[in-house]
Amino acid sequence: MRVDPILRLIVTRLSLAFVSLFAVSLIIFSSIAILPGDTAERILGRDATKQSLEALRAELHLSDPAPLRYGRWLAGVVHGDFGRSLVADRPVLPYIGAYLGRTLVLGGLALLVHIPLSIGLGLLAAAKRDGPFDIGMSIAVLIGMSVPEFVTGIFLVLWLANDLHLFPPLALIDQAQSMGSALLMLALPVMTLNFAMTAYVVRQIRSSMIDILRSDYVRMAALRGLPPSRILLAHALPNALGPAINAIALNASWLVGGIVVVEVVFNYPGLGRLLVESIRFRDVPMVQGAALVLSATYISVNLVADLLTLLINPKLRTRTA
C-alpha cells in the first residue's frame, strides 16, 4: 500500500510531538521541584514572616507531594484546563495567549525582514564571490552574530533613538496611536534580532550557491545563453534553499522563546520574559504552559520547514516515497 509520504511525515511527527510534549512537561516539573526556594517565598519576598509563608503555602497547596501536584496538573491539561497561575491567581491560558500574541507580532516582523534579507545577501555574496562586497558582508554578518543582542540593542538605542531621534527606544506598543508608530516602535528590536540571525543563513546560502554555480546544469544553462539573473534565481536558488530553510526554521524557533534579552532591552513583554519571570517565581502552571507552547512551536516550525524542503525539492520527495 502506498501512503502519501507527506501525510506519513505529518502523522509521524505529530504523534512524536505528543510524546515529547509529555516528556518536556515532566522534565520541567521535576527541575522546578529541585530548584531551591518556593513560590510562597518568592511572592512574599525577604520581609516575609514564617506565619504568612505558612498561610500562603497552605493556600497554594505547595506542601502536597510533588507527584500529586504533577498528577493534578496533568489531569487538568488532559481536560483542556492548564490551571491557574500560583502567582497571579488567575487562569494561565489568557496570559500565555496575550504574551504569545506579542511574541508572534515581533517574531513575525523580524522574520519578514530576515527571510528576504538573508537570502538576498547570500545570493549577492555568492554571485560576487570573493569580491569586496562578499568579504565586507561576511565580516559584517559575523560581527552581528558574535556581538550579544543586548550590546547591539543598547547601541542601536543610543545611536538611532537617543542621538538621531529616528525611533522610540522602548517598544511600548500600547502608546502607539497608529500602525505607523507601532512599526516605528518595533523597528529597533527587529533590527537587533536581524543582526543576530542573519549570519548563519547568509553563509548557508552562499556556500550552497557556490557549489551549485559550479555544477554542470548551471554551466549548461549558461551555455544555452540564459541571462545570469535567471540562472541564479530560477535554476540555482531553489536548490540552495533546502539547507537555508532549516537554518531559518532554527531562527524562527529562537524568536519564539529565546529572545528574552531583546524583550528586556526594549521593554517588550513577550513569551520569553513571561517564562523567565515565572521560573523566578517557581510558578509551575505558568512555566509548564509557556514551555508547552514553546515546544509545540518548535516542533511545528520544524515540521513546516521539512515539508517546505520536500515541496521545493522533487528529488527528495520521490526518494522518500
Applying CB under 8 A, the residues found at the interface with other proteins are 36-37, 41, 43-52, 55, 59, 85, 87-91, 94-95, 97-99, 101-102, 104-105, 108-109, 112, 154, 157-158, 161-162, 165, 167-170, 172-184, 186, 264-267, 269, 274, 277-278, 280-281, 283, 286
Cell 541571462, located at residue = 227
Cα separation of 118 and 133, whole Å? Answer: 14
- Residue 276 one-letter amino acid: V
The single-letter DSSP state of residue 167 is S
> Least distance in Å: CB of 79 to other proteins?
17
Cα separation of 237 and 233, whole Å? Answer: 5
Distances in Å between the alpha carbon of 84 and those of 13, 280, 298?
30, 17, 24
> Least distance in Å: CB of 45 to other proteins?
5
Paired with 262 in beta bridges are: none
Paired with 84 in beta bridges are: 91
> Least distance in Å: CB of 267 to other proteins?
5
Residues in CB range of 105: below 8 A, 6 or more apart: 173, 186
> Least distance in Å: CB of 68 to other proteins?
22
User: In terms of Cα–Cα distance, which of 81, 95, 90, 77 is closest to 21?
Assistant: 77
Paired with 91 in beta bridges are: 84
Look up residue 78 and give its three cell numbers. 488532559
Of residues 51 and 318, the one with the C-beta less far from other proteins: 51
Of residues 132 and 180, the one with the C-beta less far from other proteins: 180
Look up residue 191 and give its three cell numbers. 533590527
Look up residue 25 and give its three cell numbers. 512537561
> Least distance in Å: CB of 256 to other proteins?
14
Of residues 67 and 108, the one with the C-beta less far from other proteins: 108
Of residues 130 and 163, the one with the C-beta less far from other proteins: 163
> Least distance in Å: CB of 289 to other proteins?
12
Of residues 130 and 174, the one with the C-beta less far from other proteins: 174
Number of helices (H), then strands (E), in the chain: 15, 0
Of residues 94 and 131, the one with the C-beta less far from other proteins: 94
> Least distance in Å: CB of 198 to other proteins?
18
Contact at 8 Å (CB) between 232 and 291? no
Of residues 177 and 229, the one with the C-beta less far from other proteins: 177
